[in-house]
Structure 1
Amino acid sequence: MAAFLKIGHRGAKGHLPENTLASFAKSLELGANGIELDVHVCATGELVVIHDFTVDRVTNGSGEVHKMSLDQLKALTIDGEHSIPTLDEVFDRVGKQCFVNIEMKGRHTAKPVSEFIDRYVADKGYAYNDFIASSFQREELQVMSEINNKIPIGVLTQASVTQAWQWAVEFKAKAIHPHFTLLTESNVHKAQQAGLKVYTWTINEPEDIERIKAYGVDGIISDYPERL
């Protein structure tokens, strides 16, 4: 893993529709050495890569992701030309070219994400540190920590570095993922001294990127990975 991770947010969200195969490929073209994506479990059990709990915002359809089958989701289009990918399809596209931050967005995603990562490690030559499973949701973090202690965990927060740190200790997480506005040079260094990586999101403006990089964070998630 690279010393500093340049992580494309939902691929290269600033350039192409988020969480699409084209967006992930573009992120790598722009120099990212990591990608961030969001997963839900659809009605037929597959892990699908989409941010929202419904398809309404990003596709030409309507409905809740977890109530729709993979065939129903695949029938939808994003900007008229892209489709909602499965997690397997994303890995088929990016291969082992980058670190992958899988955000467990939907409910009950921890177990299938654990099984997915175990399969890629066992059958396809990946290492556990090629991944991190992150979430805002306490339940998913707790389940992951209980069922598979080999998978690195990242605790997302938009509200409190202290809370993220507390959950990280409780769930033996590898990293905290605070919103960049919560960071100071002091709290970054304290977290790192406690053995935690600090991956922060979503930073797009060059002056913010330079300020946060100066704090010594371990990685930045951005819609524009070329700016990192």
Structure 2
Amino acid sequence: MIGSGDGKPALVAHRGFAGENPENTVAAVEAATATTPTETPGSVVSPDPTRRRADWIEVDVVPTADGDIVAIHDVELSGSDRRDGAVDLTDSTGIVWETDTATVTSATVLASDETVPLFADVLDAVPADVGVNVELKNPGRWDLRPGEKLDGDALAARTAVWRPFVEHVLAVVDAHPNDRLFSSFCEGALAAIRELSSAPVAPLVSDSIDDGLAIAQEHDAEAVHPPIDAIRGTPFFDAARFGHADIVTTAHANGRAVNVWTVETWYQADRLASAGVDGIIADYAAVATE
């Protein structure tokens, strides 16, 4: 279960604090998990060995054409949909799961010196005391049906699609000591985790809180991950989109944590903490400033 250990919402570094670092890279993980500076008597600033910048790291995973697992968010290596076309994700092109591993892992990320890493290399860079939230992004298919509550044959079919990829991801994660949580917009991914492991899972909520909570109930999820505008009692709540649902109260009543994405400012983090959320999935470490 995601937790900070000090009564405050845990701070989850979204793609390794994507607002500060080249996302989903080894350098991002290293920067996000560095120890925080503290002032000592005499105004000497030194690292605090007991406190890291992030409590958890969130990483997206996708397979290459060779079946290797890489840490990347976009379907296309040149994806720029989340950056208003300002800069491509990498200096390469092609669909990730249709591209060989050597090409994918030699692509530089966001005009930095960092390249797309193997998932195992990302995990090697995460200290043992930092948890890993693995977002199962795509198993190498287009027909995923994200955000839907599925039943019967439809759920069985989607679970079968995800199963080989999930099995490979679990093998990589199980070679590392970190606490882990698997999240996805796709119910089939969570169902596959539940078939193969006792690891905790969390549905990522998109447009329907009811569907997200139903998926959580179906698969005995340890948490739910709603967007920031789904949190009732905050200035960000979108009543037109989410009605009168109270995901925090409902999730907590069923023993589930609520970890919110994607938080950009300290004010958002402060209001979400007041609303009782358990985790802040953020692009910047500074959102946790006292």
TM-score normalized by the length of structure 1: 0.90
2:26 corresponds to which letter in structure 1?
A: L
Distance 2:120 2:60 in 1: 13
1:42 aligns with 2:64: yes
- Identity fraction in percent: 29
Aligned CA-pair RMSD = 1.6
Q: For residue 278 of structure 2, what is the aligned residue in structure 1?
A: 218
Q: For residue 166 of structure 1, what is the aligned residue in structure 2?
A: 214
Q: Structure 2 matches for 1:30-179, cutoff 5 A? A: 31-57=53-79, 58-78=89-109, 79-107=111-139, 108=162, 109-120=165-176, 126=177, 130-148=179-197, 150-179=198-227
Distance 1:116 1:167 in 2: 25
Which digits, 9 at most, give the CA deviation of each residue in 1:79-113, with x for residues without a partner?
A: 14110011111111123131110000012332222
SS at match of 1:53: coil
Q: For residue 2 of structure 1, what is the aligned residue in structure 2?
A: 4
Distance 1:174 1:115 in 2: 21
Aligned residues: 220
SS at match of 2:61: strand
Write 1 or 2 for the structure with the bigger share of helix.
1
SS at match of 1:142: helix
1:2 corresponds to which letter in structure 2?
A: S
Distance 2:269 2:129 in 1: 23
The answer to whether the 8 Å contact 1:160/1:182 transfers is: no
1:11 aligns with 2:42: no
Q: For residue 238 of structure 2, what is the aligned residue in structure 1?
A: none
The answer to whether the 8 Å contact 1:160/1:178 transfers is: no
Distance 1:114 1:75 in 2: 24
The structure 2 residue matched to 1:22, chosen from 27, 30, 48, is: 27
The answer to whether the 8 Å contact 1:110/1:141 transfers is: no
**How many angstroms does 1:213 deviate by?**
0.7
Which digits, 9 at most, give the CA deviation of each residue in 1:14-72, with x for residues without a partner?
A: 11211111111121236111111100011112110000111013111100111112111
Distance 1:74 1:115 in 2: 20
TM-score normalized by the length of structure 2: 0.72
Distance 1:135 1:156 in 2: 5
The answer to whether the 8 Å contact 2:183/2:203 transfers is: yes
The answer to whether the 8 Å contact 2:64/2:100 transfers is: yes
2:31 corresponds to which letter in structure 1?
A: K
The answer to whether the 8 Å contact 1:8/1:32 transfers is: yes
The answer to whether the 8 Å contact 2:123/2:173 transfers is: no
Distance 2:265 2:210 in 1: 25
Q: For residue 123 of structure 1, what is the aligned residue in structure 2?
A: none
Q: For residue 229 of structure 2, what is the aligned residue in structure 1?
A: 181
2:167 corresponds to which letter in structure 1?
A: K
